Structure 1
Amino acid sequence: MQGRCILRSAALVGVRAVPVDVEVSVSNGLPGMSIVGMPDAAVRESQERVRAAIRACGFTMPADKVVVNLAPSSLRKTGSGFDLPIAAALLGATGQADAEKLARYLMVGELSLEGRVRAVRGTLPYAECARKEGLDLVVAADAADGAYLEGVDQLCVNALGQLRAMNLARLRIAEGERKGAGIDFASVRGHDMAKRALQVAAAGEHGVLLMGPPGSGKTMLARALPSILPPLDDDERIEAAMVHSTVGEPVESILSGVRPFRKVHHSATTAGLVGGGNPVRPGEISLAHHGVLFLDELPEFSSSTLQALRQPMEQGRILITRADGSVELPAKFMLVAAANPCPCGYYGDPSRECTCSATQVQRYQARIGGPLLDRIDIHVDVWRTDPSDIIRDAAPQTSSRELFEGVRSAREFASWRRDVLGDSERDDAEALLACCRMSASTGRLFEALARDALLSGRGITRVLSLARTIADMAQCKEVHEEHVLEAMGLRLRR
């Protein structure tokens, strides 16, 4: 028996799927199957799963030489998702399935020994790849990370036997249901200044460092931040869901518009935080794309791990370079960090004495590193709330709904500035100075404050950005002195 068939599949590289041709040739020779094209161990093992699945579904495994080529050969193929396309191409090459119909699809799926099709991670990147290739996608029926994409039909199979009659059903795509975004700021007693700082951060997507003693409410404030962030727009939903689909995490909440909130333990490795491994896998900063990355106990992270955040914080992406090439991962996130001021946690606390020496305090705070601190726009001291404010004070607190209205109006005003006044979205000093429209007196005040505070060039641009956000919250075209003073207060720790 002789026959050939070429079908399409894809391999995950970072957060995108790269098309792969699955070429099967059946020819006279010693019986056996070989897979070439730089496969990893999981792909090489697929020949046993394919043999068992073909026989279990009532098909005939040819007693000839079978060669499977995965092209391009320069791309390393990983995972078990090539089982389904290899089996389908083999059926097409032997005339047991319609090769012309099979060629219309991009197939991905793992096979059980009984011929059932199992889901693999990355349904959404595979669907995007199929759309670009002008094909329809075929995956397992239990794939839970799919999302609607215009221009591509997403189909599914339960078992390999369905290819006999090409009995394909539409993939069931779960509709995301928007749920509450966690803690409401109304449940946080006191901390009015910290709430204001987080509102400014949400309005302008600024990074925040919350520093204070244990139990002062830093983590609670950070967890309440998503409740005042606007929902994801359509493009942001797909981009964020693409990352989560790549690592096999649920995408329903993201597709409903809820921004990701990733809380990272301080034991996380550099690869776990920024991405890495072989093949390259997205890290926590990519999983927080268009959302919030919360680093609790910031000084407890290793120095090398923290310094790896510097590039993605400025560029909104991370480039991971390996011997076989570079992979770019999205990483546009809001950084919220919490830290104790010293090893014992009570340096500066008005009611409890710190037991650390000045050297210990300095060494502990130096773990964060000046370059990283310089990239965090807002620094806020969070002190413990008086017990009477928690136990007896029944005064209503500012709710997330109220804070969200300020965030929404500020973002709408900023959008109006860019559309009507022609303000640039760039964050360099020249563009920020132009859109701040400061008067001569305000400019002199800012210059004097910057000189007294020994602000770096980056520090000056970050204060300008903060002042512009505060002016947007006040619906002002120009940045006034009070906006500059508040921005300096948020930037400099007292």
Structure 2
Amino acid sequence: MHLQCVLKSATIVGVAALPVDVEVVVSNGLPGMTIVGMPDAAVRESQERVRAAIRACGFTMPQDKVVVNLAPGSLRKVGAGFDLPIAAAILGATGQVDSRKLEQYLWAGELSLEGAVRPVKGVIAYASCARDLGLSLAVSCDSQDCAPLEGIEQFGFRSLAGLRTLDPAPLRPKAYERGRALLDFGEIRGHEAAKRAMQIAAAGGHGILLMGPPGSGKTMLAKALPSILPPLGEKERIQAAMVHSVAGEPIGAILAGARPFRCVHHSASMAGLVGGGTPVRPGEISLAHEGVLFLDELPEFSPAALQALRQPMEQGSITVTRADGSVKMPARFMTVAAANPCPCGYFGDPERACTCTPSQVSRYQGRIGGPLLDRIDMHIDVWRCDPGSIIHGGESAGAASAKLSVGVCAAREFARWRIEVLGDEDGDSAASLLSRCRLDSSGEALLESVAKSQGLSGRGIARVLSVARTIADMDESKRVGESHLVEAIGFRMRGCL
């Protein structure tokens, strides 16, 4: 006797699902099940769950030798999501279910001992893989991360017993609400200059460093930033939701258009920040994809973790290399960092004396590192506002998020118009930025003078031009004027760092 069935499944690598053939052969020999093809511990344990689930649902477990091969053999298979495809392939090989109907699906699901199909992480990634293979997706009915992907039918099974009729329930994405932002800029009293800087950063997607003493409002400004960012586009939603789906994070707000906001504690390891582990899983920078990565108390992070941010900040992706290969994950995020100027926090504070020695201040500020600072577009000082404005209210009412977001959306719309109508190239090189800025001779002379006097690197000059172009977009100006350039230069010069 030699019975065989081949079904499609997938394994998660990074944030993508790679196709796997689940081959089952039932032949004469000592009774038992063997799983080959580089399975991890969770996959090897599936044989006990599969046996129990098949019997609990009224099917017959073959009393012969069962060999399960997960191909390709060079790819490590991880997770309990192979329970359902292995069980389905065994039923197809033994003729208890029509194998031709089973072959129409890509299968992913964990089984309980009673045969219930449990959800697995990464349903969006599995759906994308199934669409590429021209198959439908079969997962658990309880999957919470079903997304509206075009060109793919998604179905859910509650139990392995549902394979008798093969009439699964269609999975329909839920309707989600975007929800309220963490904080509105209208709730922050004063800080009009800082709000202007945050608006410019949001309009151009620029990284920004907020430097100031404790209690000056740095964290509040950062948490209010998502309230003025435009909603995610359709493609951006799917990409961001896929990362969160693989990580087992909620995706409702993202599918509703809210941009991710990841607040990372300074105790985070390098693997937790940039991704890693075995198997490789996305880190905070990938979870912040198409959103905001907020690094509070920046100098307190480990130097290795901070320097690992340099590549993804420029490339929009992170490549994690291990002995068995490299995994590339998306990581296009907006960096917002907050820092005290010294260990006690009051260096440069006009109202409270700093107790740190000059060497302590220098050592503390040096923890951030020049190469990382050079990659952050804007640096601003944030000082405590007048207590009277907090107690009695007043001036900040005109700088609420609703008003600031109008300027952000208008600037982004004008930038799109420049690219489409004026033919501006969308690149980060100095030559491309100079072309887009259209500086006159006085503007070029000003930039050259400042670059020499302040020792700006080529990257620093490019960052100044990029911010200046965003400021000009906010004014709907085709050309970057001197006023735009001066304001951008001001954001590059730091007062206390």
Shared fold, TM over 0.5 = yes
Deviation of the 1:182 alpha carbon: 2.1
Show the 5 A alignment for 1:65-464: 65-395=65-395, 396-464=397-465
SS of the equivalent of 2:132 reads helix
The corresponding residue for 2:34 is 34
Counterpart residue identity of residue 415, structure 1: R
Counterpart residue identity of residue 228, structure 2: I
Taking the aligned partners of 1:411 and 1:172, their CA distance within structure 2 comes to 33
Q: Is contact 1:189–1:397 with CA below 8 Å preserved after alignment?
A: no
Taking the aligned partners of 2:144 and 2:19, their CA distance within structure 1 comes to 22
Taking the aligned partners of 2:446 and 2:18, their CA distance within structure 1 comes to 54
Deviation of the 1:139 alpha carbon: 0.3
Deviation of the 1:449 alpha carbon: 1.2
Taking the aligned partners of 2:304 and 2:394, their CA distance within structure 1 comes to 46
Counterpart residue identity of residue 199, structure 1: Q
SS of the equivalent of 2:224 reads helix
The corresponding residue for 2:7 is 7
Residues 190-243 of structure 1 deviation map (CA, whole Å, 9 limit, x = unaligned): 111110111010011000000101111000000000000000000000000010
Counterpart residue identity of residue 356, structure 2: C
Counterpart residue identity of residue 440, structure 1: S
SS of the equivalent of 1:277 reads coil
Taking the aligned partners of 1:154 and 1:248, their CA distance within structure 2 comes to 19
Taking the aligned partners of 2:173 and 2:476, their CA distance within structure 1 comes to 41
SS of the equivalent of 1:81 reads helix
Q: Is contact 1:187–1:397 with CA below 8 Å preserved after alignment?
A: no
Taking the aligned partners of 1:392 and 1:31, their CA distance within structure 2 comes to 81
The corresponding residue for 2:484 is 483
- Deviates most, 76-85 or 165-174: 165-174
SS of the equivalent of 2:242 reads helix
SS of the equivalent of 1:352 reads coil
SS of the equivalent of 1:8 reads strand
Deviation of the 1:76 alpha carbon: 0.2
Counterpart residue identity of residue 300, structure 1: E
Deviation of the 1:167 alpha carbon: 2.4
Residues 412-448 of structure 1 deviation map (CA, whole Å, 9 limit, x = unaligned): 1111111011100011000000111111111111111
Taking the aligned partners of 1:389 and 1:350, their CA distance within structure 2 comes to 18
Aligned residues: 494
Residues 322-375 of structure 1 deviation map (CA, whole Å, 9 limit, x = unaligned): 111100000000000000000000111111111001111110000000000000
SS of the equivalent of 1:385 reads coil
SS of the equivalent of 2:167 reads coil
Taking the aligned partners of 2:162 and 2:392, their CA distance within structure 1 comes to 67
Q: Is contact 2:49–2:113 with CA below 8 Å preserved after alignment?
A: yes
SS of the equivalent of 2:18 reads strand
Q: Is contact 1:5–1:89 with CA below 8 Å preserved after alignment?
A: yes
Residues 156-177 of structure 1 deviation map (CA, whole Å, 9 limit, x = unaligned): 0000001011121112422221
Q: Is contact 1:185–1:397 with CA below 8 Å preserved after alignment?
A: no
Taking the aligned partners of 1:392 and 1:137, their CA distance within structure 2 comes to 58
Taking the aligned partners of 1:369 and 1:159, their CA distance within structure 2 comes to 55
Counterpart residue identity of residue 491, structure 2: L
Taking the aligned partners of 1:482 and 1:473, their CA distance within structure 2 comes to 13
Taking the aligned partners of 2:25 and 2:178, their CA distance within structure 1 comes to 49
Q: Is contact 2:319–2:326 with CA below 8 Å preserved after alignment?
A: yes
Residues 126-165 of structure 1 deviation map (CA, whole Å, 9 limit, x = unaligned): 0000000000000011110110111110000000001011
Deviation of the 1:180 alpha carbon: 1.5
Taking the aligned partners of 2:131 and 2:181, their CA distance within structure 1 comes to 32
Taking the aligned partners of 1:446 and 1:50, their CA distance within structure 2 comes to 69
Asked if 1:493 corresponds to 2:480, the answer is: no
SS of the equivalent of 1:332 reads coil
Could you list the runs of 5+ residues in structure 1 that have no partner in the other structure? none
Taking the aligned partners of 2:479 and 2:30, their CA distance within structure 1 comes to 80
Deviation of the 1:178 alpha carbon: 1.5
Q: Is contact 2:15–2:125 with CA below 8 Å preserved after alignment?
A: yes
Taking the aligned partners of 2:186 and 2:385, their CA distance within structure 1 comes to 15
Give me the identity figure in percent: 67
Q: Is contact 1:2–1:94 with CA below 8 Å preserved after alignment?
A: no
Counterpart residue identity of residue 419, structure 1: E
Could you list the runs of 5+ residues in structure 2 that have no partner in the other structure? none
SS of the equivalent of 2:250 reads coil
The corresponding residue for 2:474 is 473
Deviation of the 1:391 alpha carbon: 1.0
Q: Is contact 2:84–2:117 with CA below 8 Å preserved after alignment?
A: yes
Taking the aligned partners of 1:425 and 1:167, their CA distance within structure 2 comes to 49
Q: Is contact 2:189–2:394 with CA below 8 Å preserved after alignment?
A: no
Counterpart residue identity of residue 107, structure 2: M
Q: Is contact 1:289–1:330 with CA below 8 Å preserved after alignment?
A: yes
Deviation of the 1:394 alpha carbon: 2.8
Cα RMSD for the two superposed structures: 0.7
SS of the equivalent of 2:75 reads coil
SS of the equivalent of 1:258 reads coil
Deviation of the 1:385 alpha carbon: 1.1
SS of the equivalent of 2:383 reads coil
